[in-house]
Chain A
Amino acid sequence: MKDRRWIALCAIGLIVLATLNLPDAASSRVKGAVRDGISPLQAALRGGVRDLREIIRYIRGIGDLALENRALSEELVYLRGEMRIARELERDNRMLRDLLGFVQRFPNQLVSCEVIGRDSTGWWQTVRLDKGAEAGVAEGRAVITPDGLIGRTVAVSGRTADVLLLSDPTCQVSVRLARSGVLGIMQGLGAGPGEQPACRMDYMARTADVQQGDEVVTSGMGGLFPKGLLVGRVARVETDPSGLYQRAWIDIAADLGRAEYAFVAATEADLAAAAKGLIEELTGPSPGTIGGEAP
């Protein structure tokens, strides 16, 4: 009996060790499969939560109305309900027009995505999108909203992509001040209790022209983010502890916590690769590639 327990413990230990030491490719394949498997459930549940929120908002509206005007007729309630729906539709319409205009303005190819989840452990500041490699999303691409940059893709599976937000301490972006052209590195600082997530721009020369309210945009250096994407505005400036540089706290332009839709700036090559994959999936691999060898 004691032997069996030891054997079981050793087996568990071996499984854990094997999992910990899986090669990167195998590990990301397992993670991708799990993510893709759970993403429809996530998307459905998120849609349900959104519908429920709308219903509660609607019911609360009727409740307030009843308290304020008990004498109002049923017809009036109905008409107000109709009006509210019309207003919702108008708002949606305006938002979609804005998004469409944004897509037409932007020079890169954009893949529109819906935010379906957040980091499940709380160790990182990430969000999950409902599109992945199958839609042309690749790792290391800029993710933007009409308000500005929100982060970059870090883990992409077939049908989902994880976005490391600007506010994550491991996220660094090369940025520039739009007014004076001063360059710097922006790093996430996380979010304090009940606060909006914050970022800080470091390594600006002590004499550099930095003012509160300056617009911060991506510099395009490093090749990861396209040049000129709006990131935020300078909230305050101070000299760093060494006294050699200035640093500035940045208010991020996009609302990182409430983004529901986002766009991944895909390159032409990403979209071509996705289209090729889709064609291969539909028609089967080309004869020359069977067995992994060229003819």
Chain B
Amino acid sequence: MTLLSLLFWLLAGGTLQVLMPAWRHMGQPSFPFVLGVVLYAAMAKKPRYFVAMALLGGILEDSLSLAPLGFSTCAFLVSGGLAVLLRADFFAHKATTVSVFGALCASVSTGVMAALLHARGLVTLTLGGTAWRMAGSAVLGAILVPVLFGLMRGLERRLGVGEEAA
């Protein structure tokens, strides 16, 4: 049931991410719906769910863009891994904490993606532009991730799926 619920959110997140145009300000970052689902799995579920979501979410996000397959998976594993490492020190149910967490992980994910795309020569980036975009991602992550966490938690409560953090 947990996996089904996460898969539902992944599909919904992927669809919404494609429908919402990238934010034109602060380096054109996209709304991190898929990353939000991966972070939820990293923060509130067992690590195996996080890994599954990072792999599937990465494939989904890369399929919906021109990025080579596997790039987003790397970005999600790094940022989600950070969440797994830090979650014991954070109070995961508090909106402000989740907001800070979302900002940090969205920013890291954008940074990893920028490094990979630049290394492969697929996009031309400047250091300042990348930093600006990471800041933009942090703003979007700080706003979107707590909302997404609230919605996902609400649905799980209705479905009777318990918290499964390891």
Contact = CB atoms under 8 A, between A and B. Distances in A.
B63 A12 contact: no
B117 A123 contact: yes
B123 A123 contact: yes
Given A38-B64, A120-B14, A154-B66, A19 B72 contact: no
B77 A124 contact: no
Interface of A: 8, 12, 15-16, 19-20, 22, 27, 30-31, 34-35, 38, 41-42, 45-46, 49, 116-124, 126, 128, 154-155, 162, 164, 169-170, 190-191, 193-195, 257
B30 A194 contact: no
Contact of B70 (A20, A123, A126, A128): A20
17 contacts: A8-B51, A20-B71, A34-B63, A38-B18, A117-B18, A117-B19, A118-B18, A118-B19, A119-B64, A119-B65, A120-B18, A121-B67, A123-B67, A126-B65, A155-B66, A170-B123, A194-B24
Given A118-B22, A120-B61, 4 more contacts: A117-B18, A118-B18, A122-B23, A124-B66
B26 interface: yes
B150 interface: no
Contacts of B55: 15-16, 19
B69 A120 contact: no
Given A191-B24, A193-B24, A19 B73 contact: yes
Nearest to B14: A38
Contacts of A124: 65-66, 123
A22 B69 CA distance: 8
Contact of A12 (B34, B62, B77): B77
Interface in B6-55: 11, 14-26, 28-30, 34, 51, 55
Contact of A38 (B11, B23, B28, B70): B11
A16 B14 CA distance: 20
A1 to B, nearest CB: 12
A226 B64 CA distance: 28
